[in-house]
Amino acid sequence: MRIGLGINYAGEFNDVADEVLDLEKAGLDIVFVPEAYSFDAVSALGYLAAKTDKIKLASGILQIYTRTPTLTAMTAAGLDNVSNGRFILGLGASGPQVIEGFHGVPYDAPIGRTREIIEICRKVWRRERLEHRGKYYQMPLTAEDGGTGLGKPLKLINHPVRERIPVLLAALGQKNVALAAEVAEGWQPIFFLPEKAKDVWGDAVAAGKAKRDPALGELDVYAGPALAIGDDVEHLLGFVKPHLALYIGGMGAKGKNFYHTLATNYGYGAEADRIQELYLAGDKAAAAQAVPDELARNVSLIGPKGFVAERVKAFEEAGATVLNVTPIADSKDGRIKQVELLRDLI
């Protein structure tokens, strides 16, 4: 298994880069740069490409609505170039709160758009003259499509380092997960619970793999547990619960919250209802307290070495190939130590 880590999108690039350099030496395989309503991910990824030598660099995630498909392809090719072939294109739909609230564009047809975007990206990377007549994207735009009719099929001027840059999809719903298993090199779920993963996502993954091009290779699965290895770390579950409460309780209205549905599918329906009720009422602290210890523990790697080793095995047996961890530590040295401890267990 490989180890990944997502940087804090609220941090400063210079400070983060210094820490990533040390994490690279500690054995970190992949660093993810998120993009929410923060600084853009591309600036940080380019900066990290110049600062690092071996570590893989992944967008985690670029939102599918905020760039044209061809700009996404150009950006990925550029980042792959400056990193000497170390870039992984993480894509995802984000959610209506960010896409409509911050960007002011409609949140519609995430599955259809994602499929077309990946198809377009791969044509661009192969330097084909771009002709695409999809439901959501048309290149060139004709007069019938609302354009001037003057557009011509063009191909990328530069020669990419690779004509197939790995694509990672962040996906949660059944159809999105099936799409990831069909067309992407990697799939990033959220709150991956090994013992329940097959029950919740097994059919979707199988359906996607049945249509998968063998040239894509095996599907990488990027689980994202919190990490704290030690003999007295049980209390650190308290750092995981607010994050779970935010998503289960606050990421969407009642009946329109993907993460609430996931917790329900994991068998925590009543608890998810209570978390959402408290969170939407404004009592975030109580919502966090309502998150079951069992749920927080089972989606995390928090405990003594022996326990974490058992959980790593459980993640691996459930199909995870990358542990994209969030070390719980109050210093850079502490976070690096956690990665070193995990590396020794893998």
Of residues 218 and 7, the one with the higher pLDDT is 218
pLDDT mean over 1-27:
88
For 172-215, the pLDDT digits (tens) are 999 999 999 999 999 999 999 999 999 999 999 999 999 999 99
Of residues 279 and 258, the one with the higher pLDDT is 279
Cα-Cα end-to-end distance for the chain: 7
Tokens of 4: 């990944």
Give 87's strand partners.
57
Query: The tokens 């091009």 sit on which residue?
Result: 213
Q: Which amino acid belongs to residue 191? A: F
For 115-170, the pLDDT digits (tens) are 999 999 999 999 999 999 999 999 999 999 999 999 999 999 999 999 999 999 99
> Of 114, 30, 15, 28, which is closest to residue 67 (Cα–Cα)?
114
CB of 2 within 8 A of CB of 30?
A: yes
Residue 285: count of CB within 10 angstroms of its CB:
12
Omega cis (within 30) before 140: yes
Q: Are strands 322-327 and 2-6 parallel, antiparallel or unpaired?
A: parallel
For residue 109, pLDDT beyond 90: yes
Helical H runs in the chain?
13-26, 41-51, 69-82, 96-99, 110-125, 174-183, 194-210, 237-245, 258-265, 269-280, 284-289, 293-298, 305-317, 332-345
